[in-house]
């Protein structure tokens, strides 16, 4: 058992974040983290990409959410999101990774706005 498992460390390995469960505001498990998007220069995680395939029957859709919208819950051993399952239905998503342009400012703005974060 590592210090991470005991929740005593503030650090978590990227390969452990991937696959970690995500819970809705009501505590219901709604999906998992597929990957996180890291700013190459600063090393800041900006988005988590959530996958819900099989839970909503939506197939392999991916939902980019601002990292700040998730909170790690030691008790749940997962991340808690402020959103509900219902609200998620209208969230920005993509199926084909090649069609989602992370470099596009408008893309980032649409995600920030949906989750209630300020945009420039």
Residues at the site binding a second copy, with contacts judged by CB under 8 A: 1-4, 8-18, 35-41, 43-47, 49, 67-68, 72, 97-98, 100-104
Q: How far is the CB of 110 from a second copy (least distance, A)?
A: 15
CB atoms within 10 A of CB 32: 19
Q: How far is the CB of 89 from a second copy (least distance, A)?
A: 25
- Spatial separation of the C-alpha atoms in residues 101 and 94, rounded to whole Å: 10
Task: Pick the closer one to a second copy by CB: 18 or 85.
Answer: 18
- Spatial separation of the C-alpha atoms in residues 9 and 90, rounded to whole Å: 35
Query: Does residue 6 sit in helix, strand or coil?
Result: coil
Task: Pick the closer one to a second copy by CB: 61 or 68.
Answer: 68
CA-wise closest residue to 67 among 82, 86, 52: 82
Task: Pick the closer one to a second copy by CB: 86 or 98.
Answer: 98
Q: How far is the CB of 27 from a second copy (least distance, A)?
A: 19
- Spatial separation of the C-alpha atoms in residues 113 and 103, rounded to whole Å: 17
Query: How far from chain centre, in Å, is Cα 37?
Result: 9
Q: How far is the CB of 29 from a second copy (least distance, A)?
A: 19
Task: Pick the closer one to a second copy by CB: 44 or 84.
Answer: 44
């Amino acid at each position: 058992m590592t210090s991470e498992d005991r929740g005593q460390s503030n650090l978590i390995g990227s390969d452990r974040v991937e696959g970690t469960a995500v819970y809705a505001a009501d505590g219901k498990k709604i999906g998992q983290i597929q990957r996180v998007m890291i700013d190459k220069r600063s090393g800041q995680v900006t988005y988590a990409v959530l996958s819900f395939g099989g839970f909503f029957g939506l197939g392999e859709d991916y939902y980019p959410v601002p990292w700040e919208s998730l909170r790690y819950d030691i008790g749940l051993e997962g991340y808690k999101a402020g959103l509900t399952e219902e609200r998620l239905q209208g969230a920005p998503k993509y199926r084909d990774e090649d069609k989602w342009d992370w470099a596009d400012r408008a893309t980032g703005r649409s995600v920030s706005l949906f989750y209630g974060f300020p945009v420039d």
